[in-house]
Structures are given as structure tokens and as C-alpha cells.
Structure 1
């Protein structure tokens, strides 16, 4: 674990599109000790190691032996298994959104984190969007929010529905901005190019009267 005067030792599990950028950025953050990556595809692991100049560990256990915290950037259906393995060793985790494919899986992750004392953070990066940060001081009591998150189809993150892939950003932002519990949800969605919902609309009504109308599509 972290000793006084040492930088936090970090690593990345999964080096797809997002995992690669996590590794690249962590490598260059001052006062962090980037200990490398683990990737199940050997050729990809070698490619990332060569391009970024970081170590590609031969097993996830080998990476865990060297770190205090890891970024988990594997497919969503694998989040729980990787997170539990890290948390059981007291390793802090930053999990790419969504946290898990379902509530039961998320609850199991949190239960182990609470038992071991390791921290769990989810990569809701839109919270730090400069536009959101600039607007927040002026949004004292939003009453109606309309959001459209529209993207062309890319064969990535199709192991979950568009609600967990894209709309989750807007659900997170809206809940934070409104601050009240949700009273009612009305939603509809369709599977277009994958076996999961690819385009969806949700209307969230909050206890304080605020309404948010959210649309997300990954096939537009």
C-alpha cells in the first residue's frame, strides 16, 4: 500500500479505446507512479506497451501485486469480476461507466468495498465538463431539462443498452443538478442494430416538481 512520500501506484485493466487513453493520461500525471496495464489480448498488450512505454503485465494478478489503485476499462459485463478481485485485495478502483450491467452487480461491488475499506469511483466524466461547471452556479432550481445525446453507430459498448452506454451521463447530471428524489419514470426504447436498446427516451419527474426529458441514441 501507499507509503508516506511515495506517489500513488496505479494501473489500468483493459486497453481498448478508453483504457488506452486512461493509461496514456495516467502515465503523464505528476506524483503518480504508473505501474502498467493488463490486457487479455497479448498482441494489443504489446502494442500499448510499445506505444506508451509502460509495462504490460502477463496476468491481472501480476498487475495487482504492484498497485494501490486501478482503472477498470473492460467490457461492462466484466466490471464486477475485475472490481471484486481488486477490492478483495484492498485496491481502490475507478470503474468506467456504467458501474455494472445491473443493480445487483453494483450492490455486490459496493458491499465488498464497504467490507474492505477500498474506494470505488465511477467515471462520470461529464460532471467535469467545463460547460456544466460554468452553468452550475446559475442553476439554483431547474424546473425543466431537455437533453439529446445523439451519436452514429460504433460497434463498441454494445454489450449494454444505450441507457447504460450514453444516457447514463445525462441521468447522472440531471439528478445532481435537480437534487430531489425521482418520483416517476416513463420510458421507451427500441433495439435497432444490436440485441439491446439502441435508442431511448425517458421522462423523469422529481419530487420537487422538476421534469427532465432525456433522449439518447447510438444509431443516428
Structure 2
């Protein structure tokens, strides 16, 4: 049975739902939840019986796929970091702040043969 190691970056309103879904999926092992807001991050991690990370970069090397559920201004940087590390990414809409960022993310996913999905 295939077990994906997953994580959620962003523990706000939508991030909580992503974490809950990964925690319940039989094919997912939720490694952790990352958020700069320790109170929100700890609460969602606790509710989903997983670990809290203040810095999302600590999850690189530990996960196969992530959801990026943070303010749009951070989508490009976080998604790029995970794609460069060989991690599949589901990013909430909109994909990025501008077209150049979106195009770079798409190009990087294609080069690395990774899934880049926009939540919609």
C-alpha cells in the first residue's frame, strides 16, 4: 500500500481543513503542520495528532507532498522551495501573486516531473 508523507503549510481557516483531510486519508501520513503563528499551528497539529513546525523548511526531506495554504504573497517562495526539493504541491488559489511567479512554478514542476495542483 502506498503511503504518502504529507504536510500542510499554513494552519488558518483553510489549512485546518487540509490537515484534517490528510489526517483521515488511509494513504496519507500527516507528518506535520507548519505556521508562523505558534498558537494556530499547535492547535491544528494537536487536533490532527501530528507535529507542529514553526519553519516550513524543516519539513523538506520529510514529506512527499504538501498543501500550501498561506497568504498569496508567500505561495511562490514556499511552493518553489518544495518543488526544488522534489515534493509535490497543492497550492491554494490563486497560484501566485503574478504571472511570472506562476510560470516559474509551472516550469519547475514540469522540469522535476512533479504534480503542481491549484486548489479550486
On whether the aligned pair clears a TM of 0.5, the verdict is yes
Instruction: List gaps (5 residues or longer) in structure 1.
Output: 125-220
What are the residue-to-residue correspondences of 1:64-79 with 2, within 5 Å? Answer: 64-79=60-75
Aligned to 2:19: 23
Q: Deviations over 1:63-113 (max 9, x none)?
A: 222100000001011100000000000100001111112211100111111
Q: What CA distance in whole angstroms lies between the structure 2 residues aligned with 1:8 and 1:53?
A: 16
Alpha carbon RMSD of aligned pairs, Å?
1.2
Q: What CA distance in whole angstroms lies between the structure 2 residues aligned with 1:51 and 1:119?
A: 28
Question: RCO greater where, 1 or 2, for CA within 8 Å and sep 6 or more?
Answer: 2
Note if 1:101 corresponds to 2:97: yes
Q: What CA distance in whole angstroms lies between the structure 1 residues aligned with 2:4 and 2:48?
A: 19
Match of 1:52 among 31, 48, 53: 48
Q: What CA distance in whole angstroms lies between the structure 2 residues aligned with 1:111 and 1:79?
A: 15
- The structure with the larger Rg is 1
CA contact (8 A) 2:61 2:85 kept: no
Deviation at 1:115, TM superposition (A): 1.8
**What TM-score results when the alignment is normalised by the length of structure 2?**
0.93
**What TM-score results when the alignment is normalised by the length of structure 1?**
0.52
Instruction: List gaps (5 residues or longer) in structure 2.
Output: none
Aligned to 1:92: 88
Size of the aligned set, in residue pairs, is 120
